[in-house]
Structure 1
Amino acid sequence: MLSQILAVAIFVVMFIEIVREKIPRHVVTLVAGGLTLVVVFLLTMHSWPDVWQALSFQSMAETTFWYTGAHGSTGMNTGINWSTILFITGMMILVEGMSGAGFFDWLCLRLAKLVGYKPVPLLVCFMILSAGLSMFIDSITVILFLAVASVRLAHLLKFDPIPLIIAEIFTANLGGAATMSGDPPNIIIGTALGLSFGDFLRNTGVIVLVGMVVMVPYFYFCFRKQVQSWDPQARQKVMELDPRDSIHNRGQFAIHVILFLVVVVLLITHAQTGLTVATVGIIAAILTLLVNRWPLHLLRRVDWKTVLFFIGLFLAVSGLEQTGVLEAMADGIAHLTGGNHTLMIGIILWLSGVASAFVDNIPFAATMVPVITSLSATMGADLNTLAWTLSMGTDIGGSATPIGASANVAGTSIAAREGHPISWGRYCKYSAPASVLVLAISMGMLLLRY
């Protein structure tokens, strides 16, 4: 009991400090992670095995960490999710390589020309693009790509990029909920329950489509005035630029674009090839460094603070996992629902949504999978329906706060690195109501359809 209280206390203090933004957030999570290892696991539980499990180094020694075989399953481990860490790091290196080759400057000017160099149409364009790409590419990758492009374009046209990034993060998570490969929780749910890409598309995909019809106008009306304050002189100056001038070396540009397309194909087909996302991330990093003229300079540009933030966050959450706090939360659902399937869907959806806003949705999804399996077996509820409920709850609830999903952390980190920090207040002002709205839509459609 003491270990649970301490784990919760460490997490709550960590969360408060992240919200206060007085201390760099990677320092906050690393300190919280260190306290979890020392105070919770060693001093209170006297358990070196729990420390080792939280660090999770052994997971990388398993063959299935790198290759599962076609239709294989990587399983679910507690502690640091090194698969996510390696994937994000690899994609950051890839994005930095593309940036150095002039790809994002070229893309910005092309998109600006397509919409007449007007930020408001660009906002709508980027929302749709973010959701569409996230259906096939992991939402983290999409945000790494689009957030950089948004900042580059905002600097050229002299408008605030934060509205674009907030809208892109939300629609990336929303689009990712449509398929099995879009968001990490869906990968966990799908592999554990034997669901396919098509299964998700026919079920959560329909809900996402309705959600997008509502969210595009929502963010348009929220942000149309904020992004209209562009400089006419800057617009005129940009209109005179030739996108091709952004490409300093056509050979390097072509190589990095081809490399990006190869990585996209690997991501889309990783369920069929058996290559895990960790392997894809490593391949992306190695190939990018090999084709880059100055690999050490590229590595110095990578946002290592975000990587450290994730490591500390996973360690802090492992305290909640391994002391049984998350399991107790999940078990409470079984006692509250009784035999009422409607109530069961409602509790799973909203509890998953609220919890995923504050606890990274990856470990929460992993914790909830055996719970919904048990509920299906003991109470006769349709397992697939519970899977769609859990998917929408974790994916959309994770959009509500800057730390609820990996894409949120990646997007806000890029914004901060480029000189546009996004405060908790500004982020939640728009994304929290949007999350509630989409969860309400999900609730209605789940009850009507199933």
Structure 2
Amino acid sequence: MVAQITAVVIFLVMFSLIITEKFPKQFTTLVCGALTLILVFGVGMNVDNQISGSHYNWVTSLRETLNVENIFKLGFWYTAAGEIESKGIDWATIFFLTGMMIMVEGMARVGFFRWLCLHVAKLVKYKVIPIFIVFMMMSAILSMFIDSITVILFLAAVTVELSGLLKFNPVPMILAEIFCANLGGSSTMCGDPPNIIIGSKLGYSFMDFLFNTGAIAGVSLVIMIFYFYFACKKQLVVKGEVDTSKFPVPKDAIKDQKGFVISSLIFALAVALLITHGQTHLSVATIGIGIAIITILANIKYLGIIFKKVDFPTVLFFTGLFVVVGGLEQTHILELIAEFIKNVSGGNVYVMIAIIIWVSAFASAFIDNIPFAATMVPVIQALAGPGADLSTMAWALSVGTDIGGSATPIGASANVVGMAVAQKSGHPVGWGKYCKISAPATVLVLLISTGIIFVRYL
């Protein structure tokens, strides 16, 4: 009990400090992560063992949370070699995120993003609203096949570059891109980590997700385009006149022709590897590290410039966050949440589905949805029976965990990355501004999803 209370208190303190933004977010999570290791594992678990006869093994909990051993297992790099249990620090995500950041900075150095945004702007005749709508659709579609972190890394960078040329506020567009990336990621098995967990453990394929959660995401995307248009159109007004005749020619944006070609090929390789990693069995860690190495070798003369711009504070933020969530996981707080769903639902399938969607969404808005999804899979397996189809509960869990993360800045990896790009460009986004736009959109999509599941499956 002491360990559980301590883990919850540390999480709440961390959450409060992140909201108030009194300290840099990476310092907050790293300090709270250190407190978790000391107070939850080192003190709380031992006190519980002595007082209540609990059977916590703090050494095992510490090892599982730090999760360093997995890095040295073949299955971490090549998934066909065996399953790797995902607990504590998700080093695969850390490696992948770092690798993609290095790749993106390599592309930025040669002018790739500026070249891309100029082409897009020219295609839609430099009109902000058409750009806004096209980027939302691009974000959703690309996230069906590519990790949403990668999509937001380059789309947000393009948006910032474009906002400088057309003189508009990039924040609303970045928020819409983030939401659509999470929405698109919910539609396929490879689009979001919780879907990979659900699909692999329950035996569902890419097409299973596409025809079920994909249909829900498709309907929701159409509605979200209208929602974000009406919610953000006043903020997308161009400030002053824009003389497009003085815009640089897209090809002039390329700073290094040879480097541009190489960077484009590296990006194409990354996309191909991510789309086919289910067939090649290369893990995202392997892909991230491999792409980083290739980028470094291709930009060996410019490493100082590239590494100076890589957003390492965000990587540290994720590391600390994983440790704090590991404290909740090791003290069985996540299991208690899952057990609550099982008990409250009784036997009413409508209540059961609604609870799975909404509790999963609420939890995913504040904690990492990967361990939550992993915890919930055996729960829905136990709940399955006559009148309660396992696949229906799987789609409910997928939608809840994937979409719920859009409600807050820390609910999904893409959110954190997008906010970091905005802040790095001089457009910081606080919790209030983020939630004012994205939280209502999340609730709306969850209502749509609940209705579709009720009508289509029950």
Q: TM-score range by the shorter chain?
A: over 0.9
1:157–1:231 CA contact under 8 A, matched in 2 = no
Q: Kindly provide the CA deviation profile for residues 41-67 of structure 1, in whole angstroms up to 9, marking residues without a partner as x.
A: 001214222111110001111111110
Query: What displacement does 1:381 show?
Result: 2.3
User: How far apart are 1:421 and its partner, in Å?
Assistant: 0.6
Deviating more after overlay: 26-35 vs 288-297: 288-297
Give CA deviations for 1:318-370 in whole Å, capped at 9, x if unaligned.
11100010100001111111221111100000000111111121221122112
Asked if structure 1 preserves the Cα contact closer than 8 Å seen for 2:136 and 2:225, the reply is yes
**Cα distance between partner residues in 2 of 1:52 and 1:25:** 25
Separation (CA, whole Å) in 1 of partners of 2:456 and 2:354: 14
1:52 match: 63
Equivalent position of 2:376 in the other structure: 368
Distance 1:280 1:163 in 2: 31
Report Cα offsets for 1:178-222 as digits up to 9, x if no partner: 101111111121122221111100100000010011000000011
Q: Does 1:97 align with 2:106?
A: yes
1:401 equivalenced with 2:412 (yes/no):
no
Q: Which residue identity lines up with residue 24 of structure 1 in the other structure?
A: P
Aligned partner of 1:345 in structure 2 is: 353
Aligned-pair CA distance for 1:122: 0.9
Match of residue 433, structure 1, among 440, 449, 454: 440
- Give 1:288 shift: 0.5
Once residues 322 and 198 of structure 1 are traced to their aligned partners in structure 2, the CA distance between those partners, rounded to angstroms, is 34
2:23 alignment partner AA: I
Q: Which residue of 2 aligns with 1:165?
A: 174
1:24 alignment counterpart: 24
Which moved further from structure 2: 257-266 or 379-388? Answer: 379-388
Matches within 5 A, 1:9-408: 9-46=9-46, 47-69=58-80, 74-232=83-241, 235-237=242-244, 239-292=246-299, 293-376=301-384, 381-408=388-415
Q: 1:131, 1:84 → 2: CA distance?
A: 20
Contact 1:137/1:267 (8 A) holds in 2: yes
Tell me, in whole angstroms, the C-alpha distance in 1 between the residues paired with 2:161 and 2:245: 12
Question: Structure 1's 87 and 316: CA in aligned 2 closer, same or farther, altered over 3 A?
Answer: same
Report the secondary structure of 2:150's partner residue. helix
Q: Can you list the C-alpha shifts for 1:352-398, whole angstroms capped at 9, x where unaligned?
A: 01111111212211221121122126x66211111110110011100
Contact 1:113 1:239 in 2 (8 A): no
CA distance in 1, matches of 2:244, 2:455: 53
Structure 2 CA distance for aligned equivalents of residues 365 and 239 of structure 1: 51
SS of aligned partner of 2:340: helix
Cα distance in 2 for residues equivalent to 1:196 and 1:75: 20
Letter in structure 1 aligned against 2:172: P
The change in CA–CA distance for 1:237 and 1:114 in structure 2 (over 3 A counts) is closer
Residues 73, 174 of structure 1: CA spacing in aligned structure 2 closer, same or farther, 3 A cutoff?
Answer: farther
Unmatched segments (≥5 aa) in structure 1:
none
The one-letter code sitting in structure 1 at the alignment partner of 2:390 is: L
Establish whether residue 444 from structure 1 lines up as the match of residue 455 from structure 2. no
Task: Give, in whole Å, the separation in 1 of the partners of 2:11 and 2:117.
Answer: 40
Give percent identity, aligned residues only. 56
Q: How much has 1:73 moved relative to structure 2?
A: 6.4
Contact 1:412 1:422 in 2 (8 A): yes
What is the distance in 2 between the residues matched to 1:443 and 1:431? 18
Cα distance in 1 for residues equivalent to 2:79 and 2:224 = 37
User: Normalization by structure 1: what TM-score?
Assistant: 0.97
Instruction: Give the structure-2-normalised TM-score.
Output: 0.95
Aligned-residue Cα RMSD (Å) equals: 1.3
Instruction: Tell me the amino acid that sits aligned with residue 310 of structure 1.
Output: F
